[in-house]
Amino acid sequence: MGGVGTRKNKSTFNVKTVREDLCVTSEDPSSGFVMTWNGWATPKANMLAWKGVEGRLLTKMELEKRGIHISNTLYPGCGYEQESVEHILIMCLMSKTLWWMVGSWLGVKDLHSCSTVAYILSFAWKMDISKKKKKAVNCIVMATLWIIWSSRNEKLFKALQFSNDMILEQLNECTTLWMKVIAKMEYLM
């Protein structure tokens, strides 16, 4: 496994090399998934996705694992399941519905059937479309993860709740902004 010290020219530091090193350390040997950083998504969205793959987002279940007692570990979004990374971002009925809506918007079947953050992130890269479209779909997936997480935080810390239609509207605005400003694209795809 490569690390930061495996660079050819050890005196030169660049972000690309660090990203490549992080991708190597994000590898899940059971699925062959390697986290791919998407330059069209914001750095915060990339970091959230990476932490989601690694299971390192500070959910109630993660806090419990770290010895911090939480009186109620149910996810406040639904109140039915434990608040874990996979449940918040992928498996909760609210999230599944949003993933179905995003899949319909993109014309991508079965996006809502993904069961892990790693699987949903790798979904686009396995599609039979151009490299540019794969990157755009992956960016939209990262934006969706970001919006779901942000909505969870709004509910948890500010007692604000958004419908999936409102979240989809936020997602559309977010991805349009990312595509225009970061990717320098006039249209999504």
Q: For 12-58, what is each residue's pLDDT tens digit?
A: 777 766 655 655 544 443 356 778 899 999 999 999 999 999 989 99
Whether the full predicted model's pTM is greater than 0.85, yes or no, is no
User: How many helices (H) and strands (E) are present in the chain, helices listed first?
Assistant: 8, 0
For residue 22, the model assigns a pLDDT of 55
149 in a structural domain: yes
140 in a structural domain: yes
H-type helices in the chain, by residue range?
15-25, 43-54, 60-65, 85-86, 93-106, 117-123, 131-158, 164-177
Neighbour count for residue 172 (Cβ, 10 Å) = 16
Mean pLDDT taken over the chain: 84
189 in a structural domain: no
6 in a structural domain: no
Neighbour count for residue 90 (Cβ, 10 Å) = 22
188 in a structural domain: no
| Distance between first and last Cα of the chain | 36
143 in a structural domain: yes
User: Looking at per-residue confidence, does 154 or 32 come out higher?
Assistant: 154
The two tokens of residue 124 are 């686009």
Q: For 84-126, what is each residue's pLDDT tens digit?
A: 999 999 999 999 999 999 999 888 888 899 999 999 998 888 8
111 in a structural domain: yes
The two tokens of residue 142 are 């990262």
3 in a structural domain: no
Distance (Å, whole) CA 140 – CA 127: 14
Range of 77's domain?
Answer: 12-182
Give the whole-number percent of the chain exceeding pLDDT 90. 47
Q: How many domains is the chain built from?
A: 1
